[in-house]
């Protein structure tokens, strides 16, 4: 949502008007940024509404409700207590309301000049002299609106959720929205009989690899936390939580604290890949592979810790008890990764055949930063700085989190060194940099999942734009990359299955290639011509070659594989674009180079 904060240095006792232009039945979102003109080592803000607000979601402050919901008193987290002259203090919140309301909203910050009115209601402010408040001017955010959406990003987002539902392993709930999927892999167990059912199948196969899975869930949660309004306006919030709880529950099962054991894979890769059939019909053994103090894997530990900490932030207002479990487990798994450093694919050789990890510092940095966001404990920030790598990232991907680490550090510290790293990343990715561009305009990083890498980079671009880094340029580029996947390409097809009228019909996906039960499904279905019997709604296929060429062929797993991590940055970028559409802030982009 595009929020206009109209602010000026006003007389004592006045307040900043926070003007909203995006709301829905049950809530609204706003973001206010105020320039700091005096050194602060703690701060208190007052949000006042002329109509009652039921509850407030805000991760940059602790909020206390007052005056029946007409006021919220916000106090700093431990990690953002210090604000320096020249900084900006940004407060981004989602309000939950009864009905569709657009209340007049004001913001006051104590500690600068002038006076602040006493707090209404039951929140006490302590004794001593009344502190003055700040009403400050902020620099204008670059205007990036004026564009018209070529595609329905919200519809695409909703369909992406369904892909993850199709990847579920274990006993499915009564509300399973995928009619051709049933219970599967109910015997997944650890070495001592631990229940390891659940989680997501990795791709078109049936192995559960925890590194791509946890990378996927972290990116999905990041997009949700950044643009909750996108899910709310599309009425997809409940669907999102149903979707994301599936891997989070699985990670909780994978951690055995008494023995410092973290299960990181279920299913033997080669045996699995020799089976072509439904997940429900698997008969082969499914061994579990674990990390221990003598067989470490800090990359998996850091990434799972990141997902659980981000999960805490998502669930804390919805299910406080569950959120607390996510956070405590995140801390334990992070500590395990820190205490026993190592690369997981050197400990689990089977994983190394499929997802060989290049290092663990980036995932541990990410885990530390999400724990810092969740707790405000500055020791995690210090850890993240220690794990940080000063290099331009190759991509955002399941094995490369450097850009995520750098951007999270910049958001937390506003240190220009981290900003320069983010800018360096996009110097490589934007036209004129080191990335190959197809004739029709896709930023083509690699033949394996070119759609995935372009969408992941588009997601990072939208995050960086929100952080105030080259906002107009990055948003425009992100729109162009997502539009390419949805139809602005050589064939005018959507690379997302089920979106629009022209899309791939034969993805490299076992269960989707199978007819309805009880009809048999064998390797013959891999080689069968014609569309898959089941429509794998929401999945994006790997994508085109660097000349834009593409063939819809199930046997071509390079271009037609689907995978959990392929959709993660794509879905979160769609959330960002949906947010911009509803905020009337979608940038105008040139006519596509190709459109079929």
Residues acting as catalytic residues: 552, 561
For residue 384, give the nearest of 359, 402, 358 by alpha carbon. 402
Judge residue 85's burial from the number of C-beta atoms within 10 Å of its C-beta, 0-12 exposed, 13-18 middle, 19 or more buried: exposed
Distance CA 455, CA 297 (A): 27
DSSP reduced 3-state for 112:
strand
CA 26 to chain centre: 23
Judge residue 537's burial from the number of C-beta atoms within 10 Å of its C-beta, 0-12 exposed, 13-18 middle, 19 or more buried: buried
By the 8 A CB rule, do 163 and 539 touch?
yes
In which residue are the tokens 């919140």 written? 93
The set of residues, in sequence order, having a beta carbon less than 8 Å from that of 561 and lying 6+ positions away, is 203, 204, 449, 507, 508, 541, 542
For 217-251, letters b (16+ CB in 10 Å) and e give bbbbbbbbbbbbbbbbbbebbebbbbbbbbbbbbb
- For residue 203, what is the enclosing H or E element? none
Distance CA 512, CA 508 (A): 8
> Residue 70 half-sphere exposure, CB side, CA atoms within 13 Å?
9
CA 125 to chain centre: 36
Which one-letter DSSP state was computed for residue 58?
Answer: -
By the 8 A CB rule, do 290 and 264 touch?
yes
Report DSSP letters for 137-192, one per residue. --PPPPP--B---SS-HHHHHHHHHHHHHHTB-BSPPTT-S-TT---B-TT-B-TT
3-state helix, strand and coil shares in percent for the chain, rounded to the nearest 5 = 40, 15, 45
The set of residues, in sequence order, having a beta carbon less than 8 Å from that of 567 and lying 6+ positions away, is 160, 163, 164, 216, 538, 539, 540
Tokens of 21: 């232009």
Report DSSP letters for 205-271, one per residue. S--EEHHHHHHHHHHHHHHHHH-HHHHHHTT-HHHHHHHHHHHHHHHHHHEEGGGTEEEEEES-HHH
Pairing type for strands 255-256 and 436-437 reads unpaired
Residue 205's φ and ψ, nearest 5 degrees, are -110, -160
DSSP reduced 3-state for 28:
strand
């Amino acid at each position: 949502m595009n929020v206009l904060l109209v602010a000026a240095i006003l007389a004592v006792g006045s307040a900043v008007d926070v003007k909203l232009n995006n709301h829905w039945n049950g809530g609204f979102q706003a973001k206010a940024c105020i320039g700091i003109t005096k050194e602060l080592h703690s701060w208190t803000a007052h949000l006042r509404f002329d109509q009652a607000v039921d509850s407030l979601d805000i991760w940059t402050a602790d909020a206390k409700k007052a005056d029946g919901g007409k006021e919220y008193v916000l106090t700093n987290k431990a990690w953002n207590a210090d604000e320096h002259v020249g900084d900006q203090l940004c407060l981004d919140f989602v309000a939950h309301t009864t009905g569709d309301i657009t209340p007049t909203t004001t913001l006051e910050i104590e500690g600068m000049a002038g006076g602040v009115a006493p707090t209404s209601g039951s929140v006490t402010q302590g004794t001593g002299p009344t502190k003055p408040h700040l009403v400050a001017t902020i620099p204008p955010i670059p205007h990036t609106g004026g564009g018209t959406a070529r595609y329905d990003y919200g519809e695409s987002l909703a369909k992406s959720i369904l892909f993850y539902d199709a990847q579920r392993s274990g006993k499915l709930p009564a509300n399973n929205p995928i009619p051709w999927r049933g219970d599967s892999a109910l015997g997944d167990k650890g070495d001592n009989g631990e229940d390891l059912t659940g989680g997501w199948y990795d791709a078109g196969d049936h192995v559960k690899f925890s590194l791509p899975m946890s990378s996927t869930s972290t990116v999905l949660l990041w997009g949700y936390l950044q643009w909750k309004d996108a899910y709310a306006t599309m009425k997809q919030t409940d669907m999102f939580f149903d979707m994301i709880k599936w891997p989070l529950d699985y990670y909780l099962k994978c951690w055995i604290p008494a023995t410092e054991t973290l299960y990181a894979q279920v299913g033997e890769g080669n045996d699995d890949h020799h089976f072509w059939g439904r997940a429900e019909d698997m008969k082969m053994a499914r061994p579990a592979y674990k990390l221990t103090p003598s067989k470490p894997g800090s990359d998996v530990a850091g990434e799972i810790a990141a997902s659980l900490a981000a999960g805490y932030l998502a669930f804390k207002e919805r299910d406080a008890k569950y959120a607390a479990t996510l956070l405590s487990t995140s801390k334990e798994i992070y500590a395990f990764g820190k205490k026993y450093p190592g690369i997981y694919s050197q400990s689990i050789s089977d994983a190394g055949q499929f997802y060989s990890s290049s290092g663990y510092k980036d995932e541990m940095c990410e885990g530390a930063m999400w724990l810092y966001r969740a707790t405000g404990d500055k020791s995690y920030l210090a850890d993240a700085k220690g794990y940080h790598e000063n290099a331009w990232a190759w991509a955002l991907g399941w094995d490369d989190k450097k850009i995520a680490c750098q951007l999270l550090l910049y958001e937390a510290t506003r240190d220009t060194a981290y900003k320069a790293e983010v800018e360096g990343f996009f110097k490589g990715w934007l036209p004129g940099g080191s990335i190959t561009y197809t004739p029709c305009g896709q930023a083509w990083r690699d033949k394996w999942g070119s759609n995935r890498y372009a969408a992941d980079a588009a997601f990072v671009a939208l995050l960086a734009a929100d952080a105030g880094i080259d906002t107009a340029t990055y948003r425009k580029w992100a729109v162009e990359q997502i539009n390419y996947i949805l139809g602005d390409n050589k064939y005018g097809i959507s690379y997302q299955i089920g979106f629009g009228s022209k899309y791939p019909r034969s993805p490299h996906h076992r269960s989707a290639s199978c007819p309805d039960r009880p009809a048999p499904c064998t390797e013959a279905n891999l080689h069968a011509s014609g569309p898959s019997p089941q429509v794998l709604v929401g999945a994006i296929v790997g994508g085109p070659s660097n000349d834009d060429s593409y063939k819809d062929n199930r046997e071509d797993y390079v271009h037609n594989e689907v995978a959990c991590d392929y959709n993660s940055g794509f879905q979160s970028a769609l959330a960002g674009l949906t947010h911009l559409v509803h905020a009337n802030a979608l940038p105008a982009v040139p006519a596509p180079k190709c459109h079929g």
